[in-house]
Structure 1
């Protein structure tokens, strides 16, 4: 008997009886994946960073400094982030292992090290997961979290609760798009993204994908997760903004003919940044794994060019170093 979506709600356009879908059509055609793989292999892509991997790490990486007690946000590389809000700690998409893969010997390998270890955290209250791809949901990292912080709450999109409970998680909340978890003056809302899910050969789009809006007394933050560009995303700032902080993806976009339905390029990210009113925005989804054809150092350079083309070079959308942090008080003042 074919698998049936137990969360199916026919009134919701992103639900199907077999799983979930995007609101936008997918331009990919059968055979496109094989075509891309052959073209990539023939061209020897991706190329190393212009000055080599060691120079890239020296320029773009630092160890995360967790000292202090102020409300603060850290970028941990790729899509991983850490928030400290009133001495509560919240991780987002913490894929901190050597590879983004189900196998320890194959698959995309880290080119820059994690800027912190789970053991470094003084406490951990919440972990948000955007979807089940291996560069966002890492089993080894999750197991380390559960061992060190057994009472942590995982907040995940529909269809992923069972994955966490099978690994020993005690507290898991799964949400559909536009649903929220309200906890102790903290609001966590799952919001739409244009992407897909798959962890095995047999579970494509059986769990949902999402972004997150995190709201506290000092912060209104939109983490877009993995997402291709869509004008539908403008509904998020219309309903839940204005934001004083955002995180938008700028990597894994090449070749655009193949990647555009799943990943924004820097021009798309700048366009969305302008739609939401140009808050301080952290570029994510780059700097760690070589998932597409562009070299590791191309996304921040292309973002800078996209900002120049937009005529909006106000310093609020520029690359951070992996491990870098900002005080939320300063972010609030910058956006006031």
Structure 2
């Protein structure tokens, strides 16, 4: 996959330019359970770890042991490091079923915060799809059900409100992945009909800083961030470049952590969900949720270092 190759090449390049000494010990980081930072879900006060896992492409695999072993290690390491959030969708092929199977096998299912989506048109079609998704994920009750890419969102939000009142889901959300949808997401956030909003945001794509992040903070809506690496494009931007000398002061040991900590420096962000099927990348990503986060002045330095 393009993302994995870009990430792998970036890490390799870092070692060549002398930055390898900054890379974390993966075994050591994996043992630092319960040290990941937490943020509150505004509508309930429940705490969530600030780094989770997305499953688009990476979890869409077959049923063989060879297919699933890397993902098994990803889930085990996430749990060891105190992570909880896994985000899926029926749009992501076999991801929901793979997540349900592996988390049940590993006896992690009940400990995790499982999120998925409804991605269809019409009330009954939405109900049928959501029932199927929850079953695939090994649950009778899902933590977060989101309307994927706002598809028929007014219809589905009515259903989700009823389901939440009935105790069939814990939280309601809406999602998108392009800047052009931010205005509509902001309208929904301001209407206070959802607990979560999920959207794209990165150090190189900061449209959400205009008003969407502020709206979520002001109206008490939790924020999940997708596309934090812009499908690997950010690693190509920094290829051959060393981390700034002051990065270690805020616990940054890799470019992935640089990109993630920039996002997490905004207090409106509840959790960022980079996708990966590589355990080393998972451990590296989770490390971004540990230690200090950049303040506004440091975030400006990060932008300047990137030439943004």
- Report if TM-score (shorter chain) is over 0.5: no
> What TM-score do you get using the length of structure 2 for normalisation?
0.43
Structure number with the higher helix fraction is: 2
Structure number with the higher strand fraction is: 1
> What TM-score do you get using the length of structure 1 for normalisation?
0.40
